[in-house]
Amino acid sequence: MQGEHPNGSAPGGLSGFARRVWIATFIVMAAIGAVLLLWVASRVFLLFFAAVLFGIFLHTVAWAIGRVTRLPRGWSLGLTIVLLLILCGLAGWLLATPVSKQASQISAELPQALQKLQAQLEQYSWGQSLVNKIHSSGGLSSQASGIMKKAQSFFSVTLEGIVDVLVILFCGFYLAATPELYVKGFRRLVPRTKRARAKEVLGEIGGELRHWLFGQIVSMTIIGLLTWLGLFLLHVQASEMLGLLAGILDFVPVVGPFVAGLLSCGIALLKSPVLALWVLCMFLAIHLLEGHVVIPLVQRQATRLPPVLTILAMVLFYLLFGFLGLLLAIPLLALTLIAVRTLYVEDVVEE
């Protein structure tokens, strides 16, 4: 038949098939390269995401200040930064002296308290076996000093940590100053027919992250104040330091409150086991209140995260990216759930 290829295929069919194969191969290799680049530059991606959260915070506070004072956005953003610097400086000035004093007091009293605890344990048979095991591994004092050294190295200021904080601060400031520039740049990567939907999805993601972030700040403040008040009423040492630590660690659900409660119970145990039991009951009551009252009230407009997915996300991001991944696991999970709901469930499944 005229125009038919000798092997039975249409003219140019083989070249068209080869072109499609090359295009598909290029797309697959590009996707693999993007994943590998994201994996290698995972720390940069996490820092950028932290800067986005900080930028959302600055933009929202500046918008609220501008709405009250009728100032332009640039002036309201500058006023926001000045107020934050004053607030941080005031908090540091008020808390630096008592927190450092309490930390030094705990370090000085720790060896005597450990000896007292060892004497109490040796009164019981199970306590004697426990003390013997501890002595065989280097002694209770050496174990405690090792833990204290690890804690000090964890909270110590390093050059890498300073650089990370500066990157987050400056990138967050520029994102808050001109958010339209970056949103428009991202939308131009999307096909023209999908840009309206991309703008809608970005707005929904930004709103959900804003509600989650401010709800988390309110929850951290309440937990920190309640922890400080409870420990102060129970006459536990370093109540200001432990309240501040409990508020900060509450940013990481499940893990943060557990660490703060364990540390507070350990300090209370150095004084008496009964006091440690009271501190444990106090922490259980505070976090029952947080789970059933505080979070439902302050996070009503934010995406409710399933507990199982929350725990699995924290474990996964910690194994992949370390402490920074654990710190940002919950907002990353919220972003993922919003993207899946909007881009897959609503645009693909329900369509």
**3-14 confidence digits (pLDDT tens):** 444 544 444 455
Q: Rounded to whole angstroms, how far apart are CA atoms 219 and 227?
A: 12
Mean of pLDDT over the chain? 77
Structure tokens at 66: 């501008």
Whether 140 shows a pLDDT value over 60: the answer reads no
The C-alpha R_g of the chain, in whole angstroms, comes to 27
Q: How confident is the model at residue 332 (pLDDT cuts 50, 70, 90)?
A: confident
Above pLDDT 70, what percent of the chain?
Answer: 75
Mean pLDDT of 286-314: 75
Q: State the pLDDT at residue 213.
A: 86
Q: Rounded to whole angstroms, how far apart are CA atoms 242 and 265?
A: 10
Whether 2 shows a pLDDT value over 50: the answer reads no
Least confident of 112-126, 169-183, 253-267, 274-288: 112-126
Q: Which has the closest alpha carbon to 210: 4, 41, 102, 54?
A: 54
Mean pLDDT of 317-337: 84
Q: State the pLDDT at residue 113.
A: 64
Above pLDDT 90, what percent of the chain?
Answer: 5
Higher pLDDT, 78 or 40: 78
Q: State the pLDDT at residue 324.
A: 82
Q: State the pLDDT at residue 54.
A: 92
Q: How confident is the model at residue 1 (pLDDT cuts 50, 70, 90)?
A: very low
pLDDT tens-digit map of 217-244? 888 888 889 998 998 898 887 788 888 8
Query: Chain centroid to CA 297: how far?
Result: 21
Whether 192 shows a pLDDT value over 80: the answer reads yes
Q: State the pLDDT at residue 229.
A: 92
CA distances from 306 to 74, 201, 285, 311 (A): 39, 21, 22, 9
Mean pLDDT of 330-336: 86
Which single residue is written with the structure tokens 């069919």? Answer: 13
Which single residue is written with the structure tokens 């520029």? Answer: 174
Q: State the pLDDT at residue 155.
A: 52
pLDDT tens-digit map of 47-81? 899 999 999 999 888 988 888 888 888 889 889 99
The upper half-sphere exposure of residue 212, i.e. CA atoms within 13 Å in the direction of its Cβ, equals 24
Q: State the pLDDT at residue 300.
A: 63
Higher pLDDT, 30 or 74: 74
Q: Rounded to whole angstroms, how far apart are CA atoms 335 and 32?
A: 22
Most confident of 100-104, 110-114, 280-284, 316-320: 280-284
Q: Residues in the chain, how many?
A: 351
326: enclosing H helix or E strand: helix 323-327
Q: State the pLDDT at residue 153.
A: 52
Whether 174 shows a pLDDT value over 80: the answer reads yes
Q: State the pLDDT at residue 270.
A: 73
Which single residue is written with the structure tokens 């086991």? Answer: 273
Which single residue is written with the structure tokens 């013997």? Answer: 132
Looking at residue 249, its amino acid is L
